[in-house]
Homo-oligomer: A and B are copies of this chain.
């Protein structure tokens, strides 16, 4: 996978060129149906695998009522040498730049994070800080671990309830089979498993 370098003084987290084109038209993308939002996100995750531009994950932030896309992200850990560059983090960063606020709850009638796989521990925490008021995921953390060996971290028991308590609704396993198919494709393509030191992935030292 091609490595990209950053200028000193700042770290720039970029989308792959094929997705930049999509990002450029984000003002015009509107998807009102929840399942269609997920279908689009899973399509982006598949393209990230097919283009070998990162891990098999994509996420996007939509305005809940209007369905306007605020930001989209794909996993960029390996090409950017940036372990925090998960799809959800990228989508939230781009959406917050677009909305010019660190609080995505202040946008329209609130916003939704749609992610092709259930968030890992880091991204779960990031959801709490982001201001989104709804989380929708496709594949489960169990799928991610069992198919690819990623260590998703010690997810707190009752994590959905913890989100609910903070005003965030959760809907899971939307188009799960389609999301799982992308994980399987990444496995077939022998994609890198970029676990930390203690993870159980086959790609680690």
A173 to chain B, nearest CB (A): 22
A191 within 8 A of B: no
Please, which residues of chain B bring their CB within 8 A of the CB of A84? 84, 89, 92-93, 126, 129-130
**Number of contact residues on A: which range applies?**
35 or more
A123 within 8 A of B: yes
A96 to chain B, nearest CB (A): 5
Contact A131/B83 with A93-B11, A121-B121 known, Cβ cut-off 8 Å: yes
Give residues 127-168 of A contacting B (CB, 8 Å). Answer: 127-133, 151, 153-156, 158-159, 162, 165-168
Give residues 71-94 of A contacting B (CB, 8 Å). Answer: 77-78, 80-84, 89-90, 92-94
Contact A97/B121 with A105-B197, A128-B153 known, Cβ cut-off 8 Å: no
Choose among B96, B122, B194 the residue that contacts A126 (Cβ–Cβ < 8 A). Answer: B122
Q: Flag the segment in A2-10, A29-37, A174-182 that touches B.
A: A2-10
**Does the CB pair B24–A14 fall under 8 Å?**
no
Q: Jot down 8 A-B pairs with beta carbons below 8 A, ordered by A.
A: A11-B13, A77-B129, A82-B93, A82-B97, A121-B125, A129-B195, A166-B198, A167-B197
Contact A196/B129 with A81-B102, A102-B78, A102-B83 known, Cβ cut-off 8 Å: yes
A26 to chain B, nearest CB (A): 10
